[in-house]
Chain A
Amino acid sequence: MDRRQFLTLSPTRHKTAKAPFGRTDSGIAPFTGAFDTAQAVHLLKRALFGASPADLSWAKGLGSMDQAVDALLTPLATMPSPPVNNYGDDATGIAPGATWVNAPAYVRMENDPLGQNRQRSYKAWWTGVMLNQTRSIHEKMVLFWHNHFVTETQTVTDLRYVYKYNTTLRQYALGNFKALTKAITKDPAMLIYLNGNLNGKTAADENYARELHELFTIGKGPDSHYTEDDVRASARVLTGYRVDENTITSHFDSTQHDFTNKQFSDFYGAKTVTGKTGPAGETELDDLLNIIFSQPECAKFIVRKLYRFFIYYKIDDAVEQNVIAPLADIFRTNNYEILPVLSALFKSEHFYDPLNMSCLIKSPIDFCIGLCREFSVVFPAASDYMNAYEAWDYIRDFAGKMLQNIGDPPLVAGWAPYYQEPMFHEMWINTDTLPKRNMLSDYLVQGQGAPHDLKIDVLAFADQLSDPGNPVTLVKDSLDLLYRVDVSDSLRSFMKNSILLSGQSPNSDYYWTDAWQAYKGNPGDAATRTVVESRLKAMYKFIMDLSEYQLS
């Protein structure tokens, strides 16, 4: 095939033309353009971890962008099965293979080996849940809320609480933000993590109260003007919550509650939370949240955070005005229900603006989980829990080495790339982490170096594409799915000629076609299989090693 044919074989390429320069002022008006491969892959990669060939045909098969978004925004009806004992000896009598999340309390020994075992079990389990995600944004929102309402397993130490915290995030992930805030405020893991369980009437502990304003609801944006007195008043509202290690729950102890009145600043409308005695003291939390959530900055703060998580980290005046403000209005109008905001965002012309495509640096979790999902890396069955947990832990550990250790964000503010000016997401990528990203993809594509035979089946992947026997189409389909950035014709030619054709004449596409057909005709034959497999491995390794693969 000559170059002219090559070009004419890619009639859809002009549709993924280079993004226009500069800023656009697209807002949240519904997107009315074509919902083609580029748009579908964009939506999938942002809402899920990676986009597999099957995900793409599913999304396009739904018929319209609206339907695809609606389907992806459907909450999961059931909770995943809880983590199990994959570590053997358990002082509380939990048998191997049984779940430890409701185990009785135990006396912790030095270094708490049981706690550490459960910590690994929990993190592996969560990784497995993400790897097995269905086509719902639910799982990504759990991660979003984990980064928002941070707890750290190494501080909470009792993993039964941490598991409960995880289920709280799951329960409200696509529900009501105000209800989530209330649940998290009383969540045992959070009470332990930010000392709420020590907060008493004699000397209020301000730790949680401060973060409630600064990190969880209002933030420190230019229009945030809550005061130190607001923090102290909130701390007093929150006195009295205690944690019971036998029931693994929290409760309100009115004898520890400060029942004096709490006065708030002008920023919060100079309102007062009237002190209450007895069990009624617990309702002061609702009064406090009503005050906080009536401040418009609250909705803006969360919308900005969602924007940075799903779209891009730079928020300029146009975005603030055209996107953040109207979405915050939707959020408030809907009484802080999360779904209407996400729906408006993912259906907006702003979301499908070429300027906002391809610009999101994959977080380590998005990279690792997405890589495994895109290529349908096969893990041991969950029933084979010893091996399954080990394999999940391998991926979890890799993401940790890339600076995102799930369950243990570095501090209460979450992972720095989500808030740290001016680099934001670029902080995920440095000279230490980027080689590790390449190492993981190399290990998996090479099928060597990872445990439990974890590997990318390049043949199975290619086989799902539209015409794997045609090297031009194969390169195009692969790039359409794996990259968000359009690449030049010469790079495409390079992949076809130097990799798939092994440097044979560029006009000899039939060599690849013949090799593919020989393999398909006799898939059990090692020689014919290796011929195509080795070249596909080289191509997918090349694709994943280029910087373009780091963008979603």
Chain B
Amino acid sequence: MRRRDFLKHTASAAVLPSIIDGFSVKAFSTSPMLAALQGAATDNDHVLVMIQLTGGNDGLNMVIPLDIYDKYQAARSNIAIQQGKVLPLANNIKTGIHPAMTGIQELYDDGKVCILQSVGYPSPDYSHFRATDIWLSGSGAKDILNTGWGGRYLGFEYPNFPEGFPNADAPDPLAIQIGSLVSPVFQGTAASMGIAITSATDFYDLLENPPIDPVPNTHWGDELTYIRLIAKQSDKYTDSIKLAAGKVTQQSPYPANNDLAAQLKIVARLVAGGLKTRMYMVSTGGFDTHASQTEAGDTSKGYHAELLGKVSAAIKAFMDDLTRLKVSKRVVGMTFSEFGRRTKSNGSMGTDHGAAAPMIVFGDYVLQGVLGNSPNIPDAASVGDNIPMQYDFRSVYASILEQWFCVKESDLKTILLDDYQRLPIVSGIACGLITSTDDVNQNAGINYITNYPNPFADKTYLKYKTKGGHTMIQIFDTTGRLIQVPVNKIHTPGDYTVTFDGEDLPNGVYYARFQNGTIQQVRTMLKVR
């Protein structure tokens, strides 16, 4: 087309830059056809809120083993919480929680909290960065994954994202990061499935985000202002987020000076405002407590107590708010940290990078209980001792995907890339499934795995009892390193014996972890010569 024709036919070209060159502004907007083609995702309105405790939370001072309190006290005498101050949990004499976590205690006693003991993975990594990547991606210690587990789940449900999004079925962001940098947990195969809540929203100021730098009255100031304006208008989700936020005019009180509470308050507002977003990620830091994590005079107080108090108060306020907003049944939340800390405390009243640690899962549909036993603590803990894992963190992901997002068992492997044990975390009512699960808290007294001789010099026989189905035995050393997997197969029910050859191993404690369905047990074995 010649310029003169062009001007004649499109006199308003200057105000409609986006149609120049015949390229439409609608390229990425709603297309019901696309939505229909891609197949609708699992239809429920369930929301998962992930709370990242950055730095490596000291799980042993958060969830305290009352049944082996003496060992606990001995391992960390300078920072152990006084037994009398530990908060008890309803109907559970083995376990208590940190005195600062009254909010969590109340939620637990209301039947809305599940605590999972000793969650980790074989051969744990002690680097903040690498361990964080492992937790967010859902990889093993030796595997490198460039996608996040949340991103893989959302990619499974919405395979074409971002092409054709938003659309009638998925009008809202699939995942939201509170903050301005989307977590790698939402990284899908090609695109990040998450968006960050940034300046486009009203509550931006509540958060510690990178500031939008002010611009001076100069050429580049003018241009930057213009580009930012377009960037704001290009955010496909600005309107739906603002709309949702606008629907909620009154919220319950949240604790002040609590960054996690401020973030969860936004999540509550968006959930109650009707946003169909499936996953939220919030985070709070400071858990890298190498020194002075408690006060010297009173170990129930101090820096770590403040952190846990904030987490507890924020979660409690969040749940109360959701309940009053009548959306608590839509939400399950979970805390996680890149690792726990060492069993034995150090001389500077702190704890160093460790391995497995407890997770707290909460929500109306969450099954009350403490899954797993108190951590294995040696009589005389040494500096390198770690808490052996009882549950793989990917088992927690698998359980939540199946029991909360209603993902079919056959699809779990597609998302998590392997089969993982599922644990009774969320009530079967949530997905309309009532399946009988073993009451894992009633297994006291039953020895699913034993070994003899114990102590042993070279060989020891592992005797185990399986209900049938997938059965696995993993051997860990005290640092959590996976030494061997003597059993990993489908069994018919019965009692079996397998030989474990530890001749080449150094003397010391080894853990044999037994897993069969939802049941797990850890057997402590001692090698001597």
Contacts and interface: CB of A to CB of B under 8 A. Distances in A.
A534 B187 CA distance: 11
A503 B285 contact: yes
Contacts, number: 173
A551 interface: yes
Given A485-B220, A490-B211, A431 B23 contact: no
Interface in A460-499: 484-485, 487-488, 490-491, 494-495, 498-499
Contacts of B383: none
A501 B96 CA distance: 33
A312 B219 contact: yes
Contact-size category for A: 35 or more
A157 interface: no
Interface of B: 1-3, 6, 13-14, 17-18, 20-21, 23-25, 27-28, 52, 54-55, 125, 127-130, 132-133, 142, 144, 146, 179-181, 184, 189-192, 209-211, 213, 216-224, 226-228, 230-231, 233-234, 283, 285-286, 288
Q: By CB atoms of chain A within 10 A, which of B18, B20, B192, B224 has the most?
A: B20
Nearest to B187: A446
A387 interface: no
Nearest to A547: B227
Contacts of B20: 403, 410, 416, 427
Contact of A508 (B132, B144, B288): B288
A200 B457 CA distance: 107
A442 B144 contact: no
A361 B227 CA distance: 9
Given A361-B227, A448-B190, A551-B224, A531 B25 contact: no
A358 interface: yes
B129 A355 contact: no
Interface stretch (A14-22, A58-66, A106-114, A335-343): A14-22
B14 A430 contact: no
B220 A551 contact: yes
A430 B17 contact: yes
B17 A423 contact: yes
Contact of A448 (B132, B189, B283): B189
Nearest to A530: B144
A544 to B, nearest CB: 12
Contacts of B128: 502, 504, 511
A539 B1 CA distance: 43
A426 B18 contact: no
A361 B146 CA distance: 33
Question: Lowest 8 CB-CB distances: which A-B pairs, in order?
Answer: A359-B219, A494-B210, A358-B220, A547-B227, A411-B3, A359-B220, A427-B17, A430-B18
A308 interface: no
Contacts of A19: 216, 218, 220-221
B207 to A, nearest CB: 11
A21 B215 CA distance: 10
Given A508-B288, A531-B133, A355 B218 contact: yes
Contacts of A312: 219
B231 A547 contact: yes
Contacts of B226: 426, 429
Contact of A432 (B23, B130, B184, B191): B23
B6 A410 contact: yes
B149 to A, nearest CB: 15
Contacts of B144: 526-527, 530
Contacts of A385: none
Q: Count chain A CB atoms within 10 A of each CB in B146, B222, B233 and give the residue with the most.
A: B146
A42 to B, nearest CB: 11
Given A411-B2, A484-B220, A485-B224, A502 B129 contact: yes
B414 to A, nearest CB: 18
B288 A505 contact: yes
Nearest to B231: A547
A76 to B, nearest CB: 30
Contact of A550 (B13, B21, B227, B285): B227
A515 interface: yes
A434 B211 contact: no
A485 B233 CA distance: 22
Contacts of A448: 146, 189-190
Contacts of B228: 547
Contacts of A421: 14
A498 B259 CA distance: 15
A531 B21 contact: no
Interface in A352-368: 354-359, 361
A87 interface: no
A412 B285 CA distance: 58
A356 B218 CA distance: 9
Given A504-B288, A515-B127, 18 more contacts: A19-B220, A21-B216, A359-B223, A403-B20, A403-B23, A411-B1, A416-B13, A430-B17, A432-B18, A432-B27, A442-B192, A485-B224, A491-B213, A495-B210, A504-B285, A535-B129, A547-B231, A551-B224
Interface string A107-148: 000000000000000000000000000000000000000000
A231 to B, nearest CB: 13
Contacts of A485: 213, 220, 224
A420 B3 CA distance: 12
Nearest to B211: A490
A431 B213 contact: no
Given A420-B14, A503-B285, A538-B181, A490 B210 contact: yes
